[in-house]
Amino acid sequence: MTVGLRRIRWCFAILWVTGYALPGDPAWEIVGPVSLLGKPRSGVDAVALYRSVQARYRAMQAWPERYDRRHWERLAAQFRTVYYRYPTHAVADDAVYMEAEVYARLFRTGARDEDWQQAVDRYKFLITEYPHSPWGPTALLRVADLYRAKALPEWASYVTECARLFSEARCQKVPDYKSLLAQVRSARSEAPARPENVRARGLSVLQGIRYWTSPQYTRIVLDLSDAVSYRTGVLRDPDRLYIDLDQTVLSRQIRGQGWELPTHAHLRQVRVGQYLPDTARVVLDFDRIKQHRIFILESPYRIVIDIFQRPWESAGQAQSRAEAATRPTETPAPSAPADRTEDAAAREIPVPEANRSGTYSIARQLGMKVARIMLDPGHGGHDPGAIGVGGLREKDVTLAIARRLREAILRRWNVEVLMTRDDDRFVPLEERTAMANSQGVDLFISIHANASRDGRLHGVETYYLHWARDPHAMEVAARENAVSTAKLHELRKFVHLILQNTKVEESRDLAEYLQKHLIGSVRSRYPTRDLGVKSAPFYVLMGAQMPAVLVETAFLTHDREGRLLADPAFQDRVVQGLLEGLAAYLEAQGSLANLTRPSDT
């Protein structure tokens, strides 16, 4: 008897797990069968999983009065489970389509905006991710129906675009296609011609594409009129990275345009197209995709794509590697006697100091060369930066200090010094970092003058890229980025993504040395406050592959410091402090011996 009961229980368990439990069964309502299946093991599991969820869908359609919204949402999640687990299986596109159908049904019965959006998103996902799916034309026309239900004019474009995206023959197989096409033609013949009003339709405009490239690094910037959601994907044979911009149309200036990159670039060209009536697609054609990252910047809204063909290498690292490869193998010299002379000791290679965390970076361990430094005078052109005492403009102060610092570095060390600008011109923040990355600089120093609504605030502070730990740092970053603090908070996830490949420890060390010596130099003649080393999400530091810092030299809005910033003598103290801080950092890195000019030895 016990064995018989056990067999009966096993039979019911199998029916329940495989999806054949009776509709309305309380146990099914508590826990969906899919959650008990675990991770499927083969294509057979994918088919069984899809069929079980599909059977449940048919049962719920047969007895809709037994099920509420919670059951339909769970059903949509179970269809989603199928293509999440098996994205390349033959049933994946079927599962995507069925999930969209569930949300479309919820919208028809409840008229909720979130259901409408979910249905549209799932149908579009099917069209873009599974372009060869037999469901493609049907999904496109379902989107047209949903747009028409909200009286959105794009519905007609979705109907007329069917033949272009798929083929006339495939579209003809959809039962509603001919009637929808006739309705579109009738509506267009009756409606008076009106100029296109993109903003009234709630669409963003892809206004332009900019890029900077080198053999190892490329940065692409997409300039948009408004914030958008986007999807990305990688296609193979040949390698392509695409970015689909939702609710976006192309500007007239870039329609049909392509960008062919220099022959040294691993990225061959950039193409754009209106993939769907309200979805623009940007395609990056590669020789081979290695590594990329994407983040956004606000005010104006732009999407930044950084592409690395190989591990990034600075000019100093490249020189060190080249010299190591060509250096002949030497026979080890006999050990020096215990009573070495001072001259012999002076010729020893300096031992690098440990960083703040008590460890040694690769650069410190190897005593890497510093061959190229980039100075970044903040603001410029139509962007004056902060306006201080007597109308003094930040852009003029930063350029003057950067020029003086460049000359001081060149007099002292055998190193190349680059400037993001050497005159009164506007350089976008994302371009400054791209210049540093593409030219392989070893250090990046952005020079600024501070400002505050509180005219009593004064002093010196230095920043490195990380999330802000105090409100003042957030305000400074918002001002330099020309955005609100609320917008900065939205960037948290992108900052953490970027920090995974950023030299945070080295940047903080560089900031510490610069701050310490800058304060010492200024205080030797002028009273000032040490506001310390801080972190904040500065756009100009985002994506920098080398140690990068931003120095706020003094406050333009403070009565005394505002006047001092225009004084060449004060600027010289700032330059001297930055120079000594740079020397201390290089000595700690074990790099100073590599920079000494021949005339100084």
In a domain, 361, yes or no: yes
Residues in the chain: 601
Which residue type does 553 have?
T
- If one compares 487 and 64, the residue with the highest pLDDT of the two is 64
Which of 199-203, 288-292, 401-405, 483-487 is predicted with the least confidence, judged by mean pLDDT? 483-487
Of 557, 542, 377, residue with least CA distance to 457: 557
- Contact 285/218 with Cβ under 8 angstroms? no
Q: Is the pLDDT at 18 greater than 60, yes or no?
A: no
User: What's the CA gap between 591 and 460, in Å, rounded?
Assistant: 27
**The pLDDT of residue 472:** 76
Confidence of residue 470 (pLDDT cuts 50, 70, 90): confident
Q: Is the pLDDT at 591 greater than 90, yes or no?
A: no
Q: Is the pLDDT at 17 greater than 50, yes or no?
A: no
User: What's the CA gap between 268 and 264, in Å, rounded?
Assistant: 9
**The pLDDT of residue 537:** 86
Of 81, 80, 70, 87, residue with least CA distance to 30: 70
Of 417, 440, 420, 427, residue with least CA distance to 545: 440
* 428 and 289 within one domain: no
The Cα angle at residue 550 between residues 548 and 556, in degrees rounded to 5: 170
Q: Is the pLDDT at 362 greater than 90, yes or no?
A: no
**The pLDDT of residue 24:** 37
**The pLDDT of residue 325:** 64
Q: Tell me the CATH number at 276.
A: 2.60.40.3500
Q: Look up the domain containing 226 and give its range.
A: 201-308
* 13 and 102 within one domain: yes
DSSP class of residue 349 equals: P
- CA 234 distance to own-chain centroid: 16
* 356 and 303 within one domain: no
- Contact 437/217 with Cβ under 8 angstroms? yes
* 575 and 515 within one domain: yes
* 354 and 277 within one domain: no
In the chain, % of residues over pLDDT 90: 50
Which of 61-70, 108-117, 196-205, 225-234 is predicted with the least confidence, judged by mean pLDDT? 196-205
**The pLDDT of residue 601:** 42
Residue where one domain finishes, among candidates 108, 133, 158: 133
Could you tell me the CA-to-CA distances from 281 to 229, 256, 276, 277 in Å, in that order? 12, 12, 8, 11
* 301 and 435 within one domain: no
User: What's the CA gap between 49 and 46, in Å, rounded?
Assistant: 5
**The pLDDT of residue 265:** 64
- Residue 356 tokens, joined: 């703040």
In a domain, 35, yes or no: yes
In a domain, 193, yes or no: no
Of 446, 358, 440, 344, residue with least CA distance to 394: 446
* 515 and 399 within one domain: yes
* 353 and 304 within one domain: no
Give the chain's domain count: 3
User: What's the CA gap between 106 and 119, in Å, rounded?
Assistant: 9
Which of 34-48, 104-118, 209-223, 575-589 is predicted with the least confidence, judged by mean pLDDT? 34-48
**The pLDDT of residue 196:** 54
Mean pLDDT of the region 437-444? 93
- As beta bridge partners, residue 302 has 223, 297
**The pLDDT of residue 431:** 93
In a domain, 175, yes or no: no
Could you tell me the CA-to-CA distances from 309 to 293, 320, 347, 352, 497 in Å, in that order? 12, 21, 39, 31, 19
- As beta bridge partners, residue 276 has 279
- If one compares 34 and 82, the residue with the highest pLDDT of the two is 82
Residue where one domain finishes, among candidates 102, 133, 164: 133
**The pLDDT of residue 27:** 26
- Residue 350 tokens, joined: 């300096």
What is the phi-psi region of residue 588: left when phi exceeds 0, alpha when psi lies from -120 to 50, beta otherwise? alpha
| Residue 265: strand, helix, or coil | coil
* 369 and 301 within one domain: no
In a domain, 582, yes or no: yes
Which residue type does 147 have?
Y
- Mean per-residue pLDDT of the chain: 81
* 91 and 41 within one domain: yes
Non-local CB neighbours of 244 within 8 Å, separated by 6+ positions: 128, 230, 231, 232, 233, 275, 279, 280, 281
User: What's the CA gap between 364 and 359, in Å, rounded?
Assistant: 9
Which of 106-110, 186-190, 419-423 is predicted with the least confidence, judged by mean pLDDT? 186-190
Q: Tell me the CATH number at 42.
A: 1.25.40
- Nearest-10 crossing angle of helices 136-149, 177-190: 40
Q: Is the peptide bond before 192 cis (omega within 30 degrees of 0)?
A: no
Q: Is the pLDDT at 436 greater than 50, yes or no?
A: yes
Mean pLDDT of the region 518-533? 96
- CA 10 distance to own-chain centroid: 52
Confidence of residue 29 (pLDDT cuts 50, 70, 90): very low
Confidence of residue 180 (pLDDT cuts 50, 70, 90): confident
The number of beta carbons lying within 10 Å of the beta carbon of residue 580 is 17
* 407 and 300 within one domain: no
Give the helix/strand (H/E) hosting 416: strand 416-419
In a domain, 296, yes or no: yes
Non-local CB neighbours of 424 within 8 Å, separated by 6+ positions: 380, 381, 395, 396, 399
* 388 and 280 within one domain: no
Could you tell me the CA-to-CA distances from 215 to 256, 269, 312, 508 in Å, in that order? 27, 14, 10, 29
- What HEC string does 509-567 produce? HHHHHHHHHHHHHHHCCCCCCEEEEEEECCHHHCCCCCCEEEEEEEECCCHHHHHHCCC
Mean pLDDT of the region 475-495? 68
Instruction: Rounding to the nearest 10 degrees, give the CA dihedral for residues 396, 399, 405, 408.
Output: -90
Confidence of residue 343 (pLDDT cuts 50, 70, 90): very low
Residue where one domain finishes, among candidates 283, 308, 333: 308
DSSP class of residue 192 equals: P
In a domain, 255, yes or no: yes
Listed ranges 203-207, 360-364, 373-377; the one with the highest mean pLDDT: 373-377
- Contact 291/216 with Cβ under 8 angstroms? no
Non-local CB neighbours of 391 within 8 Å, separated by 6+ positions: none
